[in-house]
Amino acid sequence: MNSAFRFARQVKRALTGFNRRGVILTYHRVAQPASDPWQLCVSPEHFAEQMEVIARCGLPVALPQMQRNLKRFSVGRKEIAITFDDGYADNLHNAAPILVRYGMPAIFFVVSGALDSRKEFWWDELERLILSPAALPETFDVAMDGVRYCYRIVSKQGAPTREYGQDITDMPPANAELSRLELYYVLSKIISSLASEPKNTALRQISLWANQSPQARSDYLPLAVKDLISLAQNPLFEIGAHTVSHPKLSGLSTVEQETEITRGKRELESILGRPITSFSYPHGSYSDVTVEIVRRARLQVACTIEGRPVSRSDDPFVLPRIIVSNWSGDLFEERLRRWLA
Ligand SMILES: [Zn+2]
């Protein structure tokens, strides 16, 4: 390699290093359920290993601090901010004690309408109805929001590829043969775009079809109000807003988006008696209009799920975050070192 070229590459790498601010990590649950179709759970054991790696390899900071330092050049250890989305009760019961043990600051983005609901989030309820029962009818035949969906449920054990997975683009035709897991992803895609009321009706219809009780599982519940208050009392922790009902914001009208964002923020403020200044977009979904509403709502920082490290040039209202899976400490360290490099 010619030496001028090598020098240019070294300069570029050094500048990239200076410009890189750090990493924002996204967690959802610290738990070990029987099935986890979105890979949103980290076991308590792996979570503790990951915190040990962060303490050793990075500079743990609170998200607002990273936002305040965003435009500064980064020298020395890179910053790592820990975030949790949705507001599961296991954040208080399983994650908080481990965070405290390692002195890790964290922010919890909470769906205000789920507090005290004693109901599972819809994607968990759907998992309970489709993936948990010992037996299901052989044919799925349920109308949702005025549209009838018919599929045949077949066992595809050992099938080399899965046609319908987490990122479905084309929906299966009527009477298609689907495994239970494929059916779960197909129904998730349909339900995620419904408004609150049709969403609840669709889940009721599916529970009737599956002949399952509407009973929520205690270890899947969102935070109760008293849980939120005790989480917020710890000086290591902050609470951020994550809307009232966790919709895909970019699919809503301006007025609906405004209501979801400002009411979600206000409900948390009235419970906690302090301003809420951070936000994360449910499903990572936003448009230019969404960002403008977030700015006007006097929020100071907002996070997406665009999976990459944070740079000085990033807009504080669309900060990228990396979703962490149930990786062992070693696997997590390998990835973290790559993101921080
Ligand atoms: Zn969420």
**What is the CATH class of 3-119+220-340?**
alpha beta
Q: Is the pLDDT of residue 298 over 60?
A: yes
Residue 19: the pLDDT is 76
Instruction: Count how many residues are written for the chain.
Output: 341
Compute the distance from residue 283 Cα to the ligand 1 centre, in Å.
6
Compute the distance from residue 313 Cα to the ligand 1 centre, in Å.
25
Q: How many CA atoms lie within 13 A of 234 on its CB side?
A: 23
> Residues 196, 165, 213, 220: is their CA dihedral positive or negative?
negative
Confidence label for 69 from pLDDT (cuts 50, 70 and 90): confident
Residue 16: the pLDDT is 58
Phi then psi dihedrals of residue 241, to 5 deg: -90, 150
Question: Which of 169-178, 203-212, 252-261, 289-298 shows the lowest per-residue confidence on average (mean pLDDT)?
Answer: 169-178
Largest CA distance in the chain: 71
Q: Is the pLDDT of residue 336 over 70?
A: yes
- Strands (E) located in 191-295: 237-241, 278-280
Q: What pTM was estimated for this model as a whole?
A: 0.92
Compute the distance from residue 86 Cα to the ligand 1 centre, in Å.
5
Q: How large is the average pLDDT for residues 266-276?
A: 98
Compute the distance from residue 84 Cα to the ligand 1 centre, in Å.
9
Instruction: Give the residue with greater pLDDT, 170 vs 294.
Output: 294
Residue 17: the pLDDT is 58
Instruction: Give the residue with greater pLDDT, 159 vs 33.
Output: 33
- Strands (E) located in the chain: 20-27, 29-30, 41-42, 59-60, 79-86, 106-110, 139-144, 147-153, 176-178, 237-241, 278-280, 301-303, 310-311, 322-323
pLDDT digits (tens, 9 = 90+) for 148-165: 999 999 987 665 566 888
pLDDT digits (tens, 9 = 90+) for 250-265: 999 999 999 999 999 9
Q: Please provide the average confidence, as pLDDT, over all residues in the chain.
A: 92
Compute the distance from residue 112 Cα to the ligand 1 centre, in Å.
11
Compute the distance from residue 40 Cα to the ligand 1 centre, in Å.
10
Compute the distance from residue 239 Cα to the ligand 1 centre, in Å.
14
Residue 167: the pLDDT is 83
Compute the distance from residue 281 Cα to the ligand 1 centre, in Å.
7
Nearest CA-CA partner of 246 in 190, 194, 185: 194
Write down the domain spans for the chain.
3-119+220-340, 122-210
Compute the distance from residue 282 Cα to the ligand 1 centre, in Å.
4
